[in-house]
Structure 1
Amino acid sequence: MDRKRIALVAHDARKPDLIGWLGANIHALEGNVFWSTGTTGRLVREAHPQLDITSLKSGPLGGDQQIGAMIAEGRIDLLVFFVDPMTAQPHDVDVKALTRLATLYNIPMACNEATADMVISSPLFTSGYRPRAVDFAAHDSRRL
């Protein structure tokens, strides 16, 4: 199996859902490498110590941007971001920037459990699949 580099993020109200989803899918996820924003990473490590997880800063303290930078550098293969659509987020601009980067760099992004289930159950998840690299040459050479 090709080890996937997976970023885990969850809004406060969705952290238990992410922990539960990881537990329900532990056999499919073991052997991959994970990065997470601070509190989410700590909770994941406590619940699932067998996962190889590195915690970054808390989301509001820059963790979202750290994951965004990793996406831009080609160091993340999948973003699992359990979003709470019912609660206003004080760092909403950071959240939007992170989801924008996942879209821009063409990496899969699961914002809820159903999508995350579809992603990890796909045969592409365990293959050597790599999304098509995005070519920014036209953007980089544009005239202003």
Structure 2
Amino acid sequence: MKLVRRSLALVAHDLKKDEMVSFAQAHRAILVRYDLVATGTTGGRVLAACPELSLTTVKSGPLGGDQQIGALIAEGQVQGLFFFVDPLSPMPHDVDVKALTRLALVYDIPMALNAATAHMIVGQMLD
């Protein structure tokens, strides 16, 4: 029987990318047990800081990366979403952001929209 690793998605708005990198560094011992998928710039920054992680990047959010991750959620290939949202910056691709969060809700996967929630979720992943 082949074991399949669970997969998590990492997305961060521009002013939250540093926070996502810090989050990944703080929890690298747990995240290394998962296959990760991230939008372009966020994934590149996380991978530069944590090269030991199994991380695949998709396009940047405004270029369709949010939709690519949404499709992976709909196909059951992503079991958790860490999406650090910047509520104070305008988002030209707000429709894509809403679609991605809606899919996480529809498919009932854990979703953290800020670092505080992400830390709580990761704290429960210590099984």
Normalised to the residue count of structure 1, the TM-score between the two structures is 0.83
List structure 1 runs of 4+ shifted beyond 3 angstroms: none
Q: 1:117 maps to which residue?
A: 119
Structure with greater Cα Rg: 1
**Residues in 2 aligned to 1:95 and 1:32: alpha-carbon distance in whole angstroms:** 23
Alignment of 1:1-144 (within 5 A): 3-122=5-124, 125-127=125-127
Q: How many residue pairs align between the two structures?
A: 125
Q: Deviations over 1:55-87 (max 9, x none)?
A: 001100100000000000011010000000110
Q: CA deviation at 1:47?
A: 0.9
Q: Deviations over 1:36-65 (max 9, x none)?
A: 011111111111100000000110010000
Q: Secondary structure at the match of 2:92?
A: coil
Unaligned runs of 5+ in 2: none
Q: Secondary structure at the match of 2:41?
A: helix
* AA partner of residue 119 (structure 1): I
**Residues in 1 aligned to 2:73 and 2:34: alpha-carbon distance in whole angstroms:** 16
**Residues in 2 aligned to 1:6 and 1:112: alpha-carbon distance in whole angstroms:** 15
**Residues in 1 aligned to 2:30 and 2:39: alpha-carbon distance in whole angstroms:** 22
Unaligned runs of 5+ in 1: 128-144
**Residues in 2 aligned to 1:37 and 1:61: alpha-carbon distance in whole angstroms:** 10
Q: CA deviation at 1:25?
A: 1.1
Aligned residues: percent identity?
Answer: 53
Normalised to the residue count of structure 2, the TM-score between the two structures is 0.93
